[in-house]
A = this chain, B = another copy of it.
Amino acid sequence: MPGPIQSLSRAAAILRLLAGGERRLGLSEVATALDLAKGTAHGILRTLQQEGFVEQDPESGKYQLGAELLRLGQSYLDVHELRARALVWADDLARAAGETVYLGVLHQQGVLIVHHVFRPDDTRQVLEVGSMQPLHSTALGKVLVAYDPVARGELGDGPYESYTLRTLTEAGDVDAECALIRERGWTDSVEETWEGVASIGALIQDRRRNPVGAVCISGPVERVCEDGFVKPSLVASVRSAARAISRDLGAGRF
């Protein structure tokens, strides 16, 4: 049966639609957006609701994502081997560097943040686990593109979206950057996505040298950079953390 199950694909599309739109959506909105008959959309929504994947606001009748998704997302993190092994190293890295640490994996056309260590001793911060970052303009993303052919494929040929004046928007520029990354073994991203923010990232690979994710530190450009370049000491910290996690992954085959 080499065809995807229609009703399931449609259900997934509905979930993604609900995740995308900021506000709740009505039955008809969902049906027209996905070009489904109202009855069909209703059947799927009702099932999703009864499974807890979707909730319905009782007074407006509109639909939104359900709590079960949060629970399952958490379970995903629990099982995630890379994350489990990286937890302690990421913590150490944050402490040593004094900056925020992110751990990301390739997911579709972006980097999914699977771990996030807050900058030590600092103000209120929003947890970004579960959110996505672009491939072509972040340290995590560029590392993955440089080493993972699948990531390079997902990136496409551009031109890519521009976030700041320093964003690389042409495929050629990104590919050149990637060659440099492979040569040096790490990358930076200075104000390529957010003004004032600089990051340093390095690759994590498994026992068979397959790229499986990336770590980075991220912080205000004044603290991460010096004389226009990222501080070598921070680069060293990130690289050694990445190596440590990779080694950890290689060792632990229970």
Contacts and interface: CB of A to CB of B under 8 A. Distances in A.
A107 B68 contact: yes
Interface stretch (A8-16, A176-184, A223-231, A234-242): A8-16
Contact of A70 (B7, B8, B130): B130
Size range of the interface on A? 35 or more
A162 interface: no
Count of this chain's copies in the oligomeric assembly = 2
A250 interface: no
Interface string A41-65: 0111011101111000000000011
B114 A70 contact: yes
A47 B5 CA distance: 6
B12 A53 contact: yes
Contacts of A247: none
Contact of A73 (B9, B50, B72, B105): B72
B4 A46 contact: yes
10 contacts: A19-B75, A65-B75, A67-B105, A71-B112, A71-B130, A73-B73, A74-B129, A74-B131, A127-B127, A127-B129
